[in-house]
């Protein structure tokens, strides 16, 4: 049952550690788990001092968040300096804070007033980092919903919604001048759920499928996530910013949903994550940027029982709050093919292009991980 998480630790860029639950393990247990998984990057949705203190002197690189409601405050340079001096400086560098997310999905937030605060807040937070000599170590950006796009298909037609293009241009200018990434929260699950009759489940899940060819660029896409990412790249290029790196700040698939949430099953969640793991293991880029490995943060570490909204919102976790796995993904990240009819695939001699040395390394690490994981579970009880 632990196999996929070894692969996860070897391949994935990071994981989102949400804390909207009343039964989650304390930060020290979470650190034990992340360490056992050999994960080195995580993102949190605040600057929880317990987490920042606990993660000190660990190998975990953290992206922290300025909450949405704080944007009107930190747009003031003095308030931003106060925020950084209080929430970042006391913990750095013992705690490896490498990024600050200023808000989350502001461009598409129901509170449209927040959009006017976004770029001033980002600039002020970055200015505070410069003033404190931390800008060389900590990047500043904001994660965006894919709904920020007016057009996403085909990828080469990607464009931002007209109503946000002015602020978006200012934001992209900041990213370009500071060398910071564009963060996108991309969920093929949502597209499939909304149009299951039009969108191939195999295409959404990275399973073998004919894919699609962009009629303008002739690039072939065999999965939806890469098409979504490239649509963002084209949208930025349309505004004159073609050189900014796109990173996936969130992606995942729910293991449970309401009756109207088509596709939210344990089976599909396992297939999506294991297939994405295989892609990450190959250090793949997208068709538009094949030589630039796509950085991906999986959502999420835990099922969070207090998240509002439909049932799916509380069931994206790889783990239950007690530290047990929400589902078993298996070793299929090493498989060359998968099927939605099975959520468990065994490792066979023909299932991977990995070398014998890579395989032996995996087996050895699995053994070490199993010992560590068992220790973590014992400490939980």
Please, which residues bridge with residue 184 across strands? 144, 248
Distance, in Å, from the CA atom of 234 to the CA atom of 286, rounded to the nearest integer, reads 12
Q: What is the pLDDT of residue 38?
A: 81
In a domain, 379, yes or no: no
In a domain, 350, yes or no: no
CB 24 within 8 A of CB 303: no
Distance, in Å, from the CA atom of 144 to the CA atom of 147, rounded to the nearest integer, reads 8
Question: Residues with catalytic annotation?
Answer: 105, 250
In a domain, 344, yes or no: no
H or E segment and range at residue 222: none
DSSP class of residue 65 equals E
In a domain, 347, yes or no: no
Q: What is the pLDDT of residue 8?
A: 52
DSSP class of residue 318 equals S
Please, which residues bridge with residue 155 across strands? none
In a domain, 233, yes or no: yes
DSSP string, 226-259: HHHHHHHHHHHHHTT-----EEEEEE---S---T
In a domain, 355, yes or no: no
| Residue written as token pair 């099975």 | 342
Angle among Cα 104, 58, 16 to the nearest 5 degrees reads 25
Q: What is the pLDDT of residue 144?
A: 98
Q: What is the pLDDT of residue 373?
A: 45
Q: Which of 323, 306, 324, 325 is nearest to 314 (CA)?
A: 306
In a domain, 372, yes or no: no
Q: Where are the beta strands (DSSP E) in the chain?
A: 14-16, 41-43, 61-66, 96-102, 139-141, 143-145, 149-151, 159-160, 182-185, 212-213, 220-221, 246-251, 296-298
Pairing relationship of beta strands 212-213 and 296-298 according to DSSP bridges = unpaired
Domain that holds residue 55: 14-337
As for how many domains the chain has, the answer is 1
| Residue written as token pair 């340079």 | 77
Distance, in Å, from the CA atom of 36 to the CA atom of 30, rounded to the nearest integer, reads 10
Per-residue pLDDT of the chain (381 residues; tens, 9 = 90+): 444 455 555 466 899 999 999 999 999 999 999 988 888 999 999 999 999 999 999 999 999 999 999 999 999 999 999 999 999 999 999 999 999 999 999 999 999 999 999 999 999 999 999 999 999 999 999 999 999 999 999 999 999 999 999 999 999 999 999 999 999 999 999 999 999 999 999 999 999 999 999 999 999 999 999 999 999 999 999 999 999 999 999 999 999 999 999 999 999 999 999 999 889 889 999 999 999 999 999 999 999 999 999 999 999 999 999 988 998 764 333 333 333 333 222 222 223 333 443 444 444 344 444 444 444 444 444
Q: What is the CATH number of the domain that holds 227?
A: 3.20.20.80
In a domain, 229, yes or no: yes
Q: What is the pLDDT of residue 13?
A: 81
| Residue written as token pair 């505070």 | 128
Q: What is the pLDDT of residue 377?
A: 47
Q: What is the pLDDT of residue 303?
A: 97
């Amino acid at each position: 049952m632990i196999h996929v998480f070894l692969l996860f630790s070897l391949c994935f860029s990071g994981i989102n550690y949400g804390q909207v639950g009343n039964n989650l393990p304390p930060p020290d247990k979470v650190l034990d788990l992340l360490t056992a998984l050999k994960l080195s990057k995580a993102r949190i949705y605040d600057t929880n001092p317990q987490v920042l203190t606990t993660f000190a002197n660990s190998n975990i690189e953290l992206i922290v968040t300025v909450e949405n409601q704080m944007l009107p405050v930190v747009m003031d340079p003095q308030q931003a300096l106060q925020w950084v001096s209080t929430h970042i400086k006391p913990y750095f560098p013992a705690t490896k804070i490498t990024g600050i997310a200023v808000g989350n999905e502001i461009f598409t937030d129901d509170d449209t007033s927040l959009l006017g605060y976004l770029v001033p807040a980002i600039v002020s937070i970055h200015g505070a980092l410069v003033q404190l000599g931390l800008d060389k170590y900590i990047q500043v950006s904001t994660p965006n919903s894919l709904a920020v796009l007016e057009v996403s298909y085909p990828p080469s037609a990607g464009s931002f919604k007209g109503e946000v293009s002015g602020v978006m241009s200012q934001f992209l200018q900041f990213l370009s001048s500071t060398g910071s990434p564009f963060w996108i929260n991309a969920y093929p699950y949502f597209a499939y759920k909304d149009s299951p009759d039009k969108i191939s489940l195999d295409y959404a899940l990275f399973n073998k499928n004919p894919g699609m060819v962009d009629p303008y660029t002739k690039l072939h896409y065999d999965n939806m996530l890469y098409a979504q990412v490239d649509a963002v790249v084209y949208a930025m290029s349309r505004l004159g910013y073609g050189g900014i790196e796109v990173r996936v700040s969130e992606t995942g698939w729910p293991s449970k949903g309401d009756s109207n949430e088509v596709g939210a099953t344990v089976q599909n969640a396992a297939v999506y994550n294991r297939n994405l793991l295989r892609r990450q293991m190959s250090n793949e880029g997208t068709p538009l940027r094949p030589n630039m490995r796509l950085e991906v943060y999986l959502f999420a570490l835990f099922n969070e029982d207090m998240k509002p909204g439909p049932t799916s919102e509380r069931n994206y976790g790889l783990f239950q709050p007690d530290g047990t796995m929400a589902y078993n993904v298996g070793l299929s990240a090493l498989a060359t093919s998968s099927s939605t009819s099975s959520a468990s695939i065994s490792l066979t001699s023909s299932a991977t292009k990995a070398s014998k040395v890579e395989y032996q390394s995996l087996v050895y690490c699995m053994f070490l991980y199993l010992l560590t994981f068992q220790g973590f579970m014992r400490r939980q009880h």
